[in-house]
């Protein structure tokens, strides 16, 4: 197994998956580990068939990122076949416990970076967070969008913990800001195209006869 994201520094394939997804990928689901686990310990956990659990990615408190299931495969992560068939799932380690289950700044930064990377590679230009469960699950993402869901919507769990739950909108806003800034930047190829058109318009400009000789000299 090779990593989908270049941000990944550790890969350990998990047998706990259902093969190729049967739905187009249009969702990102962020989880908390409820422990201060390393990406290696998560890999060992998900490598155990008896655990019947896995995720696409894991992020350690140190900010390193691991991958365990390919993005194209259905991981066993959110207690919901319907969600996992369309979601890329991310487990984030906690550097503190109850009641908030916080994560380190390094882990948070890597989470935002990973979400941005996932969007770019999957051709998405927007992440959509809707805090109301019913509205979120009824939302049909546009082709350029990733919908966000949380584990607690599908099982009697507090995942992804209050700390990350309160920051779902913030994560979406930061990723969208980066994607929008990049989209607004003029690429080199676009610049050349615009300049070519601009020069053509100058060349075709019907100036007076007094400048005809100079223009022909300039063109040639």
Neighbours of 123 (CB within 10 A): 9
pLDDT at 190 over 80: no
Task: Compute, in degrees rounded to 10, the torsion defined by CA atoms 66, 112, 130, 80.
Answer: 0
The pLDDT assigned to 43 comes to: 98
Under DSSP, the state recorded for 142 is: -
186 pLDDT band, cuts 50/70/90, is very low
Query: What does pLDDT average to over the chain?
Result: 90
Pairing of strands 87-92, 57-59: parallel
pLDDT in tens, 202-220: 565 555 555 555 545 454 4
Give DSSP secondary structure letters for 146-195: EEEE-GGGTSS--TTHHHHHTTHHHHHHHHHHHHHHHHHSPPHHHHHHHH
31 pLDDT band, cuts 50/70/90, is very high
Average pLDDT over residues 173-191: 73
Give the tokens for residue 78.
């959110």
pLDDT in tens, 92-110: 999 999 999 999 999 999 9
Average pLDDT over residues 145-154: 98
Listed range (86-100, 121-135, 197-211) with the worst mean pLDDT? 197-211
The pLDDT assigned to 176 comes to: 98
Helix (H) or strand (E) holding 132: none
C-alpha atoms less than 13 angstroms from C-alpha of 19 in its C-beta half-sphere: 1
Angle, CA of 140, 54 and 151, to the nearest 5°? 45
Reference 25, options 120, 145, 117; nearest CA is 145
Give the tokens for residue 28.
């990102």
User: Taking a C-beta distance cutoff of 8 angstroms, is the pair 69, 56 a contact?
Assistant: yes
Look up the pTM and report it: 0.83
Average pLDDT over residues 32-40: 97
CB-based burial of residue 53 (10 Å sphere; 0-12 exposed, 13-18 middle, 19+ buried)? middle
């Amino acid at each position: 197994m090779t990593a989908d994201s270049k941000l990944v520094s550790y890969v350990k394939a998990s047998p706990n998956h259902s093969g190729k997804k049967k739905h187009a990928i249009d969702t990102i689901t962020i989880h908390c580990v409820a422990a201060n686990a390393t990406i290696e310990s998560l890999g060992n956990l998900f490598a155990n068939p008896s655990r019947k659990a896995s995720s696409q990615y894991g992020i350690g408190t140190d900010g390193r990122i691991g991958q365990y299931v390919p993005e194209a495969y259905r991981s066993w992560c959110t207690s919901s076949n319907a969600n996992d068939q369309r979601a890329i799932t991310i487990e984030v380690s906690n550097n503190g416990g109850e009641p908030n289950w916080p994560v380190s700044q390094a882990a948070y930064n890597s989470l935002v970076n990973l979400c941005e990377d996932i969007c770019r590679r999957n051709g998405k230009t927007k992440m959509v967070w809707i805090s109301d469960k019913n509205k979120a699950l009824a939302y049909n993402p546009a082709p350029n969008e990733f919908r966000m869901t949380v584990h607690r919507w599908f099982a009697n769990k507090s995942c992804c913990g209050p700390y990350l739950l309160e920051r779902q909108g913030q994560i979406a806003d930061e990723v969208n800001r980066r994607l929008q800034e990049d989209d607004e930047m003029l690429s080199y190829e676009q610049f050349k195209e615009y300049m070519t058109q601009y020069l053509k318009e100058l060349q075709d400009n019907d100036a007076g006869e007094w400048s005809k000789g100079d223009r022909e000299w300039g063109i040639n």
